[in-house]
């Protein structure tokens, strides 16, 4: 809590650095303000020591959990009232993060599925575009199932060819390339919608850097956008702006 009594937000970023910066940019753009002082007081810890989340989950690299807990505790020591994780895959560890701190930790998974239920009640089949790590953990699948929704994912070969190459490939977004990665993601969207997806979840914080609703013929739910909007509600008590 700040001296003025306003909620202080903590963001765990650095997964990757551009994604964390984009989450903060979106937070600023979507917060309804009249003056500078209306913005949400925020601490962003861009913890670039956090190992790759997918590698850790799949057992091909070190776990991200110790560094995530380090960031959460650092933010709590500095007085934050609310924490968000600027990486969807890192939500695999959200229960551990929640157990490590007393302050509230919002879930992008819970907020996204909640938004689908509210805003697209007729939808039954929901496709998930996310890292293989996120898909393997069934984070979205389990939450969708709680609401009677069917989860749909790409076949393994297309998941590797489009999503993972678009994120991690030599010409992927983590290497700083936008257009080649965007092309791959749009092919993934085409396949999913052609095979019955009635809505699509963008379940990785870097995917919004590559495409938007105008590129998708069915309702698109960006997990980080859903998280940011709920964060604004909790910190300000106001509805976020409809569009940035």
**243 within domain boundaries:** no
Q: 121 and 72 share a domain?
A: no
Out of 204, 216, 226, 235, which one is annotated catalytic? 204
Question: How many angstroms separate the Cα of 7 from the Cα of each of 42, 76, 81, 83?
Answer: 9, 12, 6, 11
Are the C-beta atoms of residues 116 and 203 closer than 8 Å to each other? no
**199 and 163, same domain (yes or no):** yes
204 classed as catalytic:
yes
Domain containing 42 equals 9-107+226-236
Which of 87, 216, 226, 235 is an active site residue? 87
Are the C-beta atoms of 126 and 197 separated by less than 8 Å? yes
CATH number where 132 lies: 3.40.50.1860
Query: Is 235 labeled as catalytic in the residue annotation?
Result: no
pLDDT for res 206: 84
- 57, 92 Cβ separation under 8 angstroms: yes
Q: What is the pLDDT along the chain (244 residues), one digit of tens a residue?
A: 787 789 999 999 999 888 899 899 999 999 999 999 999 999 999 999 999 998 898 899 999 999 999 999 999 999 999 999 999 889 999 999 999 999 999 999 999 999 999 999 999 999 999 999 889 999 999 999 999 999 999 999 999 999 999 999 999 998 999 999 999 999 999 999 999 999 999 998 889 889 999 999 999 999 999 999 999 999 999 999 987 5
Give the whole-angstrom CA distance, residue 185 versus residue 189. Answer: 6
- Assigned domain for 26 exists: yes
Domain-located, residue 1: no
Determine the pLDDT at residue 104: 97
Q: Is residue 76 part of a domain?
A: yes
Q: Does residue 3 lie within any of the structural domains?
A: no
Q: Cβ(13)–Cβ(47) under 8 Å? A: yes
Output Rg (C-alpha) for the chain, integer angstroms. Answer: 17
| pTM as predicted | 0.89
As a whole number, the mean pLDDT across the chain is 94
Interatomic CA distance for residues 104 and 126, integer angstroms: 28
């Amino acid at each position: 809590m700040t001296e003025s009594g306003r909620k202080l937000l903590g963001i765990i970023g650095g997964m990757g650095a551009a994604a964390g910066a984009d989450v903060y940019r979106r937070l600023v753009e979507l917060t309804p303000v009249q003056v500078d002082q209306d913005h949400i007081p925020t601490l962003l810890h861009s913890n670039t020591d956090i190992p790759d989340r997918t590698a850790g989950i799949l057992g091909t690299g070190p776990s991200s959990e110790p560094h995530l807990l380090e960031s959460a505790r650092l933010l709590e020591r500095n007085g934050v009232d609310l924490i968000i994780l600027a990486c969807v895959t890192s939500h695999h560890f959200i229960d551990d993060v929640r157990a490590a701190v007393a302050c509230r930790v919002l879930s992008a998974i819970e907020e996204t599925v909640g938004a689908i239920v509210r805003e697209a009640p007729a939808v039954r089949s929901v496709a998930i575009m996310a890292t293989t790590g996120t898909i393997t953990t069934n984070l979205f699948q389990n939450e969708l199932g709680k609401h009677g929704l069917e989860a749909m994912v790409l076949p393994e070969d297309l998941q590797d060819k489009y999503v993972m190459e678009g994120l991690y490939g030599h010409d992927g977004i983590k290497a700083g390339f936008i257009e080649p990665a965007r092309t791959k993601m749009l092919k993934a969207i085409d396949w999913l919608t052609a095979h019955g997806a009635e809505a699509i979840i963008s379940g990785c914080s870097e995917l919004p850097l590559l495409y938007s609703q105008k590129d998708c013929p069915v309702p698109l739910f960006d997990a980080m956008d859903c998280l940011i909007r709920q964060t604004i509600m909790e910190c300000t008590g106001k509805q976020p702006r409809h569009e940035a």
